[in-house]
Amino acid sequence: MRYFLDPFGCVKNQVDAENMMAHLNKEGWESVSETEQADLIIVNSCGFIESAKRESINAVFEWRKLYPGKKILLAGCLAQRYAKDLSESMPEVDGFFGVDNISQITQIAASLVNGKKCAILSRKAKLSHNASLPMGERPLLSLPGSAYVKISEGCNNRCSYCAIPLIRGGLVSRTIPDILEECNALLDRGIRELCIIGQDIGAFGTDTVKTAASANAAAKLPELLNAISSLKGKGHFWVRLLYIHPDHFPLQILDLMEKDPRFLPYFDIPFQHSSSKILTAMNRHGNSETYLTLLETIRAKLPNAVIRSTFLLGFPGETEEDFAQLLDFQEKANLDWLGCFAYSREEGTAAYSMKKRVPVKTAEKRKQIIEERQIPITEKNMDRFVNQNIDVLVEEQIAAGETSANSVSSQDNETLWLGRLYCQAPDIDGAAVIVKSEASETNPQLGTFAKCKVISRRGFDLEVRV
């Protein structure tokens, strides 16, 4: 039997998709890249915010319209959160598959192709999806050389706007030996960048204690990084840390990152806002001063630090004064990368019933203002890499004609490559456009590092030469 997987959502969802593929492949299923060849279409959905939910639902409608006779499985967060409602309103779907029992994907796939409609949504086997199947052996949907390592599931932070705990439950951390085994396997396969992910990796290990006061002391991220640091004989590789909640950032990791250059000085810290009033309403406990102090501490310890964050605009009760405070924080924080989102009112969250809702147009206007003000900040910060000699992870080869007119200063007949510096996380930041120097005898190899010199900045991207 053949299946086509249509992935949506975040990289944590991507890891789930990769593990689904691993189990299906082990049972003799074949993954195909052309939908018309598939017996089963799997839409691995996102259920986080309204726009993402709509995108996944529309995908189902489109596939059903194109292939009325094929079986369609709605998997992932949307299925976990709304299976009961959607089973009544979406006859286009043949089955629903949640986020916890990944190993049972083979069971539901077999049922569907045999003509039985069904759903598997139980939470009884959280994080056991790799039973008898090492996670490091899964197919990878990332570009060459990079892989995501999910160290935990769920979240205990309970931000008032966030539906993640409703979908994936509370925090459950993997064991360090289990994670280390996966890292070893991925490195042995030639992976050069391990991206450590979770809803909040700073909280890793805190699910083993009962009180919030002792939770911060019990955080095991430093212990995990120490274990990864002990890996020897694996060649040169990067470790990138993604998604650390600023209210309990484990400062101990800075010492380890200073000693081991394999841990990239790249930090994804979602501040969301800087107004104390709004942060309190979000059930977050920092403020502008504590967040700026955190940034100062990181940069003092690691001068080459690159910091990405996200801002949430239009949260209930956000006034012009609150927005002005955020603009001031944006200027002082001098973030390298910034993503902005307009508030999405999600049923079941604490913020759903909050008063003083901000009009959608106002939230979108504020989002646009933040984004426009960020452009010169990011461009100036990327300028500091010009003339540096630096490693670039090579990801894909492109023809010169495929780039925009102002993206590179190469000749028409030159072959180009795309890659990333340490300051660029996969998919969300800019890219490095790689041009081979005439003095270089070999072409850059996909999934490996190339020694390059940064020649110029073009928009958010950097032009580099081998």
Q: Domain extents for the chain?
A: 2-120, 135-383, 389-465
Task: Give the confidence band of 401 by pLDDT, cuts at 50, 70, 90.
Answer: low
Task: Give the confidence band of 402 by pLDDT, cuts at 50, 70, 90.
Answer: low
Considering the segment(s) 389-465 as one domain, its CATH architecture is: Beta Barrel (2.40)
Q: What is the 3-state secondary structure (H, E, C) of 431-465?
A: CEEEECCCCCCCCCCCCCEEEEEEEEEECCEEEEE
Q: Is the pLDDT of residue 438 over 70?
A: no
Torsions phi, psi of 52, nearest 5?
A: -70, -40
Instruction: Name the more confident of 310 and 124.
Output: 310
- How many residues does the structure list for the chain? 466
Segment 332-360 shows an average pLDDT of 94
Residue 162's alpha-carbon distances to 149, 283, 408, in angstroms, are 23, 10, 40
Q: What is the pTM of this model?
A: 0.91
Q: H or E element: which one contains 60?
A: helix 50-66
Q: Is the pLDDT of residue 326 over 50?
A: yes
Q: Is the pLDDT of residue 292 over 50?
A: yes
Q: Is the pLDDT of residue 406 over 70?
A: no
Amino acid at 446: L
Segment 345-353 shows an average pLDDT of 92
The mean pLDDT of the chain is: 89
Torsions phi, psi of 274, nearest 5?
A: -130, -15
Beta bridge partners of residue 193, listed in sequence order: 146, 238
Instruction: Name the more confident of 79 and 401.
Output: 79
Q: In what order do the strands lie in the sheet with 95-97?
A: 30-31, 2-7, 40-45, 71-76, 95-97, 118-120
**pLDDT, position 408:** 53
Query: What's the topology of domain 135-383?
Result: pyruvate-formate lyase- activating enzyme (3.80.30)
**pLDDT, position 130:** 45
Q: Is the pLDDT of residue 218 over 80?
A: no
Query: What's the topology of domain 2-120?
Result: Rossmann fold (3.40.50)
Task: Give the confidence band of 46 by pLDDT, cuts at 50, 70, 90.
Answer: confident
Coil, strand, or helix at residue 247?
A: helix
The number of CA neighbours under 13 Å toward the Cβ of 33 is 1
Coil, strand, or helix at residue 310?
A: strand
**pLDDT, position 288:** 95
**pLDDT, position 90:** 85
